[in-house]
Structure 1
Amino acid sequence: MSTPEAASDPPPFSGRLSGHGGAHAVEVARHHGIDTMFTLSGGHVFPLYDGAVNPDPAMRLLDVRHEQTAVFAAEGIGKLTGRAGLAVVTAGPGVTNAVSGVATARFSGSPLLLLGGRAPDSRWGQGLLQELDQPPLLDSVAKRAWTVHATDGIGAAMDEAARTANGAHRGPVFLDVPMDRLYDQAEAELPGSAERADRSPDPGRVAEAARLLGQAERPVLVYGSDVWLDGAARAALEAAEELDVPVVTNGQGRGVLPGRHPLLANRARGAALGRADLVVVVGTPLDFRLGHGMFGGKDGAPLAKVVHVADSAEQITDHMTPAAAVWGDLSAALRGIAGAAAPTTAARIWRREISESAAATAASDTDVLASGDTPVHPARIYGELNRILDDDAVVVGDGGDFVSYAGKYVEPEHPGQWLDPGPFGCLGTAMGYSIAARLARPSSQVVTLMGDGAAGFSLMDVDTLVRHRLPVVMVCGNNGIWGLEKAPMQMLYGYDVAADLSPQTRYDEVVRALGGGGELVTDPEGIAPALRRAFDSGVPYMVNIATDPGNVYPRTTMGV
């Protein structure tokens, strides 16, 4: 499997294309490393299917039950490999059903290529089935969205779309092609010439970041998703160890430092970010998850200085002025900063304090991770799961409070093993990400964690897992409420509405009806045996666990 550490951008497609428009598109997609087409069948895009199945070897076609799953699966491939996945949807509602997935990819910086069908040019304006000008709908959430009106231009457009999606800052690209242009025959010659952008970070900016780091007494590094997606995970680990600085991770930055690494400060996040005098944020925006960059201030300390390091200039925060900003290739930036900075003695003392704080917090979690409460405390689930997970397991999170607990208690051992909806917060990613994880990591455990609210968005696509023989373990934290809404509404108004679900709904029986396996667990002592049965089953399997609706995840302004 190709990962961001090993992947290199292929050159622009060069060569002759022939046949119908669908064949042109598929041949270029193959050139960019795409081997699977995620789709829900529609007549507007039949030539793309023909282009996929006729060459030898054929491109894999994986059909789903809702377009959002196809898009989330393609986005999941992008998150796991650092290279754009491909989703193909039919015109009109196929495209509109895909919009939330595109928005999720844009907010997460995930490379994604979405190809949509479109009503034919030859009859446009006559009230055709699903006649809709679609790119304007995608403009605000895609890096680029446009229509190709010539069959001999489809290959060049696909080449540009793939390179745009995979280029920093990564993200989704939408392309639609009128039905008649996809079916038409054409010849095209692509020259394959394009200049590669110079992504070397500015030496002066690197030096300024290093100077600030060398002066800090309480520095903290924050690693986000782009550290993984930009292929900088190894450089990030080496920089942290060379600098001997506490590290907080979020998104796909999780796992850059293994779960038991002494510099990992996730279990002391509040103390680290609240008392820091300098925070170097790498590969993630200064959004609500990071208090919008307002670090420090705890126990009377002044606000911390911020150094923002991003993969491209457009990602540098503009709602505040950081003390230093660096953009470009993240591996080069991190190596440059670490090579030039000389941490103070006070900074090393600070690192030991944070390490001791993280260890003390982890030790204090022992009781809650072994809780015998009934209904089940969500933490007990993760106490049992952590004993079963392999070091290379992929963990998918789709939910609110239940997945927040996962973020607190589950630490990946390697980068590229954690998938969640990201800062857009769109529920319903579970099945698409599960499909992607099983394809991208065929020999690894895949466990999908979902709240019972999130389960309602995509559970029908268990049928897709079953049909395509993709075994995944699903764990549902079933507390019968919308946990993120019920408690806040009670706090604000003293009552709540539209926040209850049916208690102990048998989502496991839904999975069984669709051809998988499953069971309901109400006793905390039954969790571990049920998880073992799930992993041993070899089929999509739901462990549906009745959890305590009164247990509300404790939130802070720094998020999870």
Structure 2
Amino acid sequence: MESAKHAGDIAVAVSQAYGAEIMFTLSGGHVFPLYDGAVHEGMRIVDVRHEQSAVFAAEAMARLTRRPGLAVLTAGPGITNGVSGVTTAHFNGSPVVVLGGRAPRSRWGSGALQEMDHPPLFESITKLAFTAGGADSIGQDVEMAFRTAISPHRGPVFLDFYMDDLFAPSPPHEAETLTPSPLEPDGEALAGIARLIAEAERPVLVLGSDVWMDRAEEAARDFAETYRLPVVPNGQGRGILPAGHELLVTRARGTAFSQADLVIVAGTPLDFRLGYGFFGGKEGAPLAKVVHLACAPSQLATHVGTAASAAGDLSLLFWSLGTACGEAGVSPKAYAPWLTTLSENAAAAIAGDAELMESDADPIHPMRVYGELNRLLDDDAVVIGDGGDFVSYAGKYVEPRRPGCWLDPGPYGCLGTGLGYAIAARLARPRSQVVLLLGDGAAGFSLMDVDTLVRHKLPVVMVCGNNGMWGLEKHPMQMLYGYDVAAELQPQCRYDQVVTALGGAGELVTSPAEIGPALRRAFDSGVPYLVNIATDPQIAYPRTTTGI
């Protein structure tokens, strides 16, 4: 006779029903029944060295697979250590479920170890944060968490369990795993947007992360190609049009945004990355009209006026908008001169990069690193950015060839995501190259989780741009005050030796001629390998906005 299942078994079974295949965690007694449930149900457990990495890994798994990610955190400090990861998932719209332990119900209020009411901490950074009602309701509560996380607009959910409830027997629960019904966009709104496109002379289409997360990359590409619209990608919208595509004008972004008369922004907020939604307006010209397309009404901009907006399933939205544009008489030929201008500007910018991408300058210019790396990346390589100035260069000079192959922290800008993201990327894409780009500042947040890569046999190539400073702060502070404080790091710190000590491998690179061979050794090694490149501390990434 089969023994009765405890609540941990039920929680894990429901998680699996919703597509969670891996539990990311750091061991803690409050959540032992969830580990026991994972053993009983055949779910893989990946344990890390800091809870933030567990949540970042769950978030990256959600973003790469477009299925819910699962993190399990023990009570008190285990949960508070995961707050930045949950916040990052909130800003990225990542469907992550965080299951937490909680001091026993039977001892609540008497000062049990790590007794803390966690949900109030998460109310502003989750779609839902709550405590399970009891052992009998565990199945329904976990299902509510997952269904909430995956419904538009996606996002994180936090659910914790009293410890004694989690150990108790719990009735079986048959998860319904209902897929949220696609939200139909408003036809009249799309007809109005089509008229704006027909009237435009210099339109630009921005494709953001939610286009990928909504599985709308095919519809978006078809729409852009049908109407010959120049495209600037944002976040995980990168790669929807592959590197070298004739409509991709990333390198002419400045011209596109300053001279456009219509900017169509799809699947991303009108935040600091897009000038808060203000385009054009240069040299006395009027501001561009802005159209905002989102997967849910809650994501439409309210801080700035838009000419039009529409919300709905982004695949349906792009297919329907394509039809509406045809009915409105939109002519792809009308934008040919504008596209030619942007393409020529982009080509000139790329040609102008060549000197620095191959520079023999010593100290090393960061662009030389990307000149070497781009030669070695496969079409399906997953590239992860975790840093300030050094990773900003990557955003500009590494152009993905396929969608779903780029990860960065997103608009929250949290450093320390890198190792968690790399853990998930290697698990999600076992046959692809996984490259983690680290600033030396970012490396200090999570490099200990190389131990996780080693223990779980997850080879990753790590490239550290080491300029011995917090470059994103040092140069602006010098400009503002004529001096800087709290911005120095140890020059040529041997982060590669940290990786070696943890069981991986690595080397320090100090001359440009060594970069290519070192990267090739890293890719060939089959182990976690860090190429620690000493870059010129005098070079600052040329920023045009502070994002404030």
TM range (shorter): over 0.9
Q: How does 1:500-519 map to 2 (within 5 A)?
A: 500-519=488-507
Q: 2:24 aligns with which of 38, 60, 76?
A: 38
Which residue does the alignment assign to 2:451? 463
Which residue does the alignment assign to 2:240? 256
| 1:239 is aligned to 2:223 | yes
Which residue does the alignment assign to 1:175? 159
1:347 is displaced (CA, Å) by: 2.0
1:351 is displaced (CA, Å) by: 1.1
| 1:529 is aligned to 2:513 | no
1:271 is displaced (CA, Å) by: 0.2
Which residue does the alignment assign to 1:554? 542
CA distance in 2, matches of 1:415, 1:191: 31
Q: How does 1:371-410 map to 2 (within 5 A)?
A: 371-410=359-398
Which residue does the alignment assign to 1:12? none
Which residue does the alignment assign to 1:104? 88
| 1:145 is aligned to 2:133 | no
1:558 to 1:391, Cα distance in 2 relative to 1, 3 A: farther
1:82 is displaced (CA, Å) by: 1.1
| 1:27 is aligned to 2:13 | yes
CA distance in 2, matches of 1:267, 1:558: 20
CA distance in 1, matches of 2:64, 2:198: 34
- Aligned to 2:130, what secondary structure does the other structure show? strand
Q: 2:78 aligns with which of 88, 94, 98?
A: 94
CA distance in 2, matches of 1:193, 1:393: 32
**Which ranges of structure 2 fall in alignment gaps of 5 or more residues?**
none
CA distance in 2, matches of 1:191, 1:494: 61
Which residue does the alignment assign to 1:14? none
Superposed CA deviations along residues 498-554 of structure 1, whole A, max 9, x for unmatched, are 000010000000000000000000000000000000000000000000001111000
1:456 is displaced (CA, Å) by: 0.1
- Aligned to 1:454, what secondary structure does the other structure show? helix
Aligned-pair identity in percent equals 64
Q: How does 1:157-236 map to 2 (within 5 A)?
A: 157-190=141-174, 192=176, 196-236=180-220
Superposed CA deviations along residues 64-102 of structure 1, whole A, max 9, x for unmatched, are 000000000000001101111100010000000000000
The letter of the residue matching 1:358 is: A
1:338 to 1:72, Cα distance in 2 relative to 1, 3 A: same
1:160 is displaced (CA, Å) by: 1.2
- More displaced stretch, 328-337 vs 213-222: 328-337
CA distance in 2, matches of 1:462, 1:306: 44
Which residue does the alignment assign to 1:122? 106
1:343 is displaced (CA, Å) by: 3.5
Which residue does the alignment assign to 1:368? 356
The letter of the residue matching 2:40 is: N
| 1:155 is aligned to 2:139 | yes
- More displaced stretch, 60-69 vs 151-160: 151-160
Which residue does the alignment assign to 1:11? none
CA contact (8 A) 1:218 1:276 kept: yes
Which residue does the alignment assign to 2:339? 351
Q: 1:61 aligns with which of 38, 45, 57?
A: 45
Which residue does the alignment assign to 1:309? 293
| 1:472 is aligned to 2:456 | no
Superposed CA deviations along residues 191-235 of structure 1, whole A, max 9, x for unmatched, are 739694450101011111111011100000000000000000111
Q: How does 1:8-23 map to 2 (within 5 A)?
A: 19-23=5-9
Q: 1:278 aligns with which of 219, 238, 262?
A: 262
1:356 is displaced (CA, Å) by: 1.3
CA distance in 2, matches of 1:191, 1:88: 20
1:299 is displaced (CA, Å) by: 3.7
CA distance in 1, matches of 2:493, 2:10: 47
CA contact (8 A) 2:18 2:177 kept: no
Q: 1:413 aligns with which of 388, 401, 407?
A: 401
1:444 to 1:198, Cα distance in 2 relative to 1, 3 A: closer
Which residue does the alignment assign to 2:480? 492
CA contact (8 A) 1:214 1:344 kept: no
The letter of the residue matching 2:293 is: V
CA contact (8 A) 1:152 1:188 kept: no
Q: 2:306 aligns with which of 322, 325, 337?
A: 322
Which residue does the alignment assign to 2:323? 339
| 1:82 is aligned to 2:66 | yes
CA distance in 1, matches of 2:520, 2:263: 41
Q: 1:266 aligns with which of 231, 235, 250?
A: 250
Superposed CA deviations along residues 176-203 of structure 1, whole A, max 9, x for unmatched, are 0000000001214557396944501010
Q: 2:441 aligns with which of 424, 431, 453?
A: 453
1:389 is displaced (CA, Å) by: 0.3
CA distance in 2, matches of 1:224, 1:437: 20
1:300 is displaced (CA, Å) by: 3.1
Superposed CA deviations along residues 469-493 of structure 1, whole A, max 9, x for unmatched, are 0000000000001011001111111
Per the normalisation by structure 2, the TM-score is 0.97
The letter of the residue matching 2:146 is: A
Q: 1:48 aligns with which of 34, 42, 45?
A: 34
Which residue does the alignment assign to 1:13? none
- More displaced stretch, 306-315 vs 325-334: 325-334
Which residue does the alignment assign to 1:443? 431
CA contact (8 A) 1:165 1:172 kept: yes
CA contact (8 A) 1:105 1:112 kept: yes
CA distance in 2, matches of 1:435, 1:194: 29
- Aligned to 1:187, what secondary structure does the other structure show? coil
The letter of the residue matching 1:165 is: A
CA distance in 2, matches of 1:344, 1:216: 11
- Aligned to 1:207, what secondary structure does the other structure show? helix
The letter of the residue matching 2:357 is: L
- More displaced stretch, 190-199 vs 305-314: 190-199
Which residue does the alignment assign to 1:9? none
Which residue does the alignment assign to 1:541? 529
Which residue does the alignment assign to 1:427? 415
1:335 is displaced (CA, Å) by: 1.5
- More displaced stretch, 75-84 vs 295-304: 295-304
1:334 is displaced (CA, Å) by: 1.1
Q: 1:72 aligns with which of 56, 67, 81?
A: 56
**Which ranges of structure 1 fall in alignment gaps of 5 or more residues?**
1-16
The letter of the residue matching 1:427 is: L
CA contact (8 A) 2:151 2:180 kept: no
CA distance in 1, matches of 2:510, 2:12: 49
- More displaced stretch, 353-362 vs 223-232: 353-362
Q: Size of the alignment, in residue pairs?
A: 542
CA contact (8 A) 1:153 1:188 kept: no
1:64 to 1:526, Cα distance in 2 relative to 1, 3 A: same
CA distance in 2, matches of 1:390, 1:352: 29
CA distance in 2, matches of 1:406, 1:186: 49
Which residue does the alignment assign to 1:4? none
Superposed CA deviations along residues 397-436 of structure 1, whole A, max 9, x for unmatched, are 0000000000010000011000000000000001000001
